[in-house]
Structure 1
């Protein structure tokens, strides 16, 4: 679903936007310095029982009051990634400033206020039913009124996933929605646990899936290293080599095969990039960790049905 304030007459844009937010998130009172010419857009993706959205908004103040909570409470956690602009959140006597690459955690059951101080403000958000978060009661509440960094660690991993998904969904089918939602819930749960060092609060399955995601992210960041081995990966994550292999028993490929598949896919993307048409194939192979051109050619042909040279020629001519 896509909501645009411009779908209503200019004088009704703000009230129309309040109605849209009430349907997509939770009812709130809105005001703006630009009420006469208010502009905002929001794109909502359904991911099973939860939803994700990306949006851009002009100067805006939102207040979720006790009266609104009594009238309607979806019992959700709101998670917001600030991409551009700044905002100030208020809860009772607490106030916090949020800047780009900060994560804001909110609760539909608690009164709060948020005002943007930059224009426009670009955000990516999640609406997660509280029943889906496998954490002890009260753990998520401790994140409110506290900016969480998305520049490193679990915050960065979550932000990367949110940004990628909000930028391009063409590779996914509608049936992928619930699976993507499961990944996001695990990442949010792990973020909460990591923030307060309550990793033991995670269920066994959530801990396993989250650790696997962290490992895959690490592999993606080190594909260029031809000496990357499962032993290196296990050591970097403070786990045994045998446990690493057990984690990948739940995946579609072994850890070594997954590394090779990711390298081949990265090389394939480079081979089909017109901007890299003059880059030698052996250089692209070396960029992604293949030290022997012949080994790369054989692996590529097995994976994609054509030698790299022929695959590149067909792709660039189409």
Structure 2
């Protein structure tokens, strides 16, 4: 499994919960002032998952205020960008003169080098947080910094792809090997950079390698979502992404992890066939019928 640390407030006496969690958040993100009307009996569940030098953490807790002040920045700055996928709840982020409300299925971002304040609203909330050192993001920090504080949707495009990646990694963290962590971290850094570049419409700031990785990940996500389409083949995949078949093959040769585009389609269909075979609803359906349906891309 991936290196992971779990914090559950229920494991501690009520009087110790808030302060112990504050100390954890100061290590995970950066030193912050935290305030909550629930501090006397704080409820929080958090898992810190290490992907090399990048940390991902599913977090749910009572409402509170996060505050990163100039004084704290002068004392300690890990030089990182933070991004949170909001899964439940809402909050108001104030950075400089800008104040933005973030709701579920949006991202909010911050920079450890800039003061900010985050106030969660109405009860508990749930997020998946990401801490990315600035020197690991494959785009210039001053360019990435222009995205900080903007509202970013997680419902479509690169935002949805990043959300899918975060959800899968945090849900299935035990299925990966420790050596997978840095590789997953590199993919995550590419996805964050591509998301930022899309917000800024500044793709020229990305490296060619990041372009290829991000495009390959988008294609893989497209294949997963459309594997049941009997018309899905390499020509259709290439056309949907406005690239040539030959370039599609080259992408998978470099970034496909040892599989081809056609092979990846086959893998998705076989995976669906295995799922059908395990489904009681298909108990009376002959194996060769299930295999034929999936081979043809029939849902």
Superposition TM-score, scaled by structure 2 size: 0.93
| Residue pairs, 1:1-318, within 5 angstroms | 1-250=5-254, 251=256, 252-274=258-280, 276-281=282-287, 284-285=290-291, 288-290=294-296
Structure with the larger RCO, 1 or 2 (CA within 8 Å, 6+ apart): 2
Task: Check conservation: 2:60, 2:127, Cα contact below 8 A.
Answer: yes
Task: Using the TM superposition, give the Cα deviation of residue 281 of structure 1 relative to its aligned residue in structure 2, in angstroms.
Answer: 3.6
Q: Give CA deviations for 1:254-296 in whole Å, capped at 9, x if unaligned.
A: 211221122112211221234543455456446535279xxxx
Runs of 4+ off more than 6 Å: none
Task: Check conservation: 2:134, 2:141, Cα contact below 8 A.
Answer: no
Structure 2 distance, partners of 1:86, 1:291, is: 40
CA RMSD of aligned residues (A): 1.7
Structure 2 distance, partners of 1:87, 1:287, is: 46
Structure 1 distance, partners of 2:217, 2:161, is: 9
Q: Give CA deviations for 1:228-277 in whole Å, capped at 9, x if unaligned.
A: 11111111111111111111112312211221122112211221234543
Q: 1:291 to 1:113 in 2, by over 3 A?
A: closer
User: Corresponding residue for 1:303?
Assistant: none
Q: Give CA deviations for 1:80-132 in whole Å, capped at 9, x if unaligned.
A: 00001111111121111111100111111100000111322111011100001
Q: Give CA deviations for 1:185-241 in whole Å, capped at 9, x if unaligned.
A: 111011011111111211111111111000111111110011111111111111111
Structure 2 distance, partners of 1:58, 1:93, is: 27
Q: 1:259 to 1:141 in 2, by over 3 A?
A: same
- SS where residue 175 of structure 2 aligns? coil
Structure 1 distance, partners of 2:247, 2:146, is: 32
Structure 2 distance, partners of 1:231, 1:48, is: 37
Task: Using the TM superposition, give the Cα deviation of residue 33 of structure 1 relative to its aligned residue in structure 2, in angstroms.
Answer: 1.4
Q: Give CA deviations for 1:136-187 in whole Å, capped at 9, x if unaligned.
A: 2322222222110000000000001101111122321111111111111111
- SS where residue 85 of structure 1 aligns? strand
- SS where residue 30 of structure 2 aligns? coil
Structure 2 distance, partners of 1:28, 1:98, is: 20
Structure 1 distance, partners of 2:168, 2:178, is: 17
Q: Give CA deviations for 1:31-50 in whole Å, capped at 9, x if unaligned.
A: 11112211111101110111
Rg bigger for which structure?
1
| Structure 1 gaps, min length 5 | 293-318
| Structure 2 gaps, min length 5 | none
In the alignment of these two chains, the number of paired residues is 292
